[in-house]
Amino acid sequence: MKERAREVKAAARRSPRDKAAEGERDVLEKISEMEKPDREMAEKIHAMIKANAPDLVPRTWYGMPAYSRDGSVLCFFRPAPKFGERYATFGFNDNAKIDDGNMWPVAYALTKLTKAEEAKLTALIKQAVS
């Protein structure tokens, strides 16, 4: 919660023009602090989002890399050590357009990011911003 409070205060001081650039810097800094394999997965996911959903604005959210639209976080990457878990997580918030019937997953456990998982996440990211 303390980290989130710092993020909110820092964002309030930024001009709208600087939010994207400084958010990108913050996300890349958080990614660089991660241990392998989380760092490698976060780098790939960051590149996938930049290539496939360039309108999403990088930012940190509770100390995690996240990507927002219109000020609301759409998706995020949570490294395994964040909550002492055995795997990293890529998740979506309710503003992502990934609805599929009456029930659908909103978070995905990641232990490795191969071309197959990259393809699945890329499709989900594109659907989320559609």
pLDDT 10s digits, 38-65: 999 999 999 999 999 999 999 999 999 9
Is the confidence at residue 28, as pLDDT, over 70? Answer: yes
The pLDDT tens digits for 77-94 are: 999 999 999 999 999 999
Average pLDDT, the chain: 92
Contacts 24+ apart (CB under 8 A), 47-56: 48/118, 48/121, 48/122, 48/125, 49/75, 49/125, 52/122, 52/125, 52/126, 53/125, 53/126, 53/128, 53/129, 55/129, 56/129
Mean pLDDT of 17-36: 89
Mean pLDDT of 104-121: 96
Is the confidence at residue 14, as pLDDT, over 70? Answer: no
Q: What percent of the chain has pLDDT over 70?
A: 88
pLDDT given for residue 3 in this prediction: 73
Residue 20 CA to residue 57 CA, distance in Å, equals: 6
Mean pLDDT of 8-29: 77
pLDDT given for residue 17 in this prediction: 66
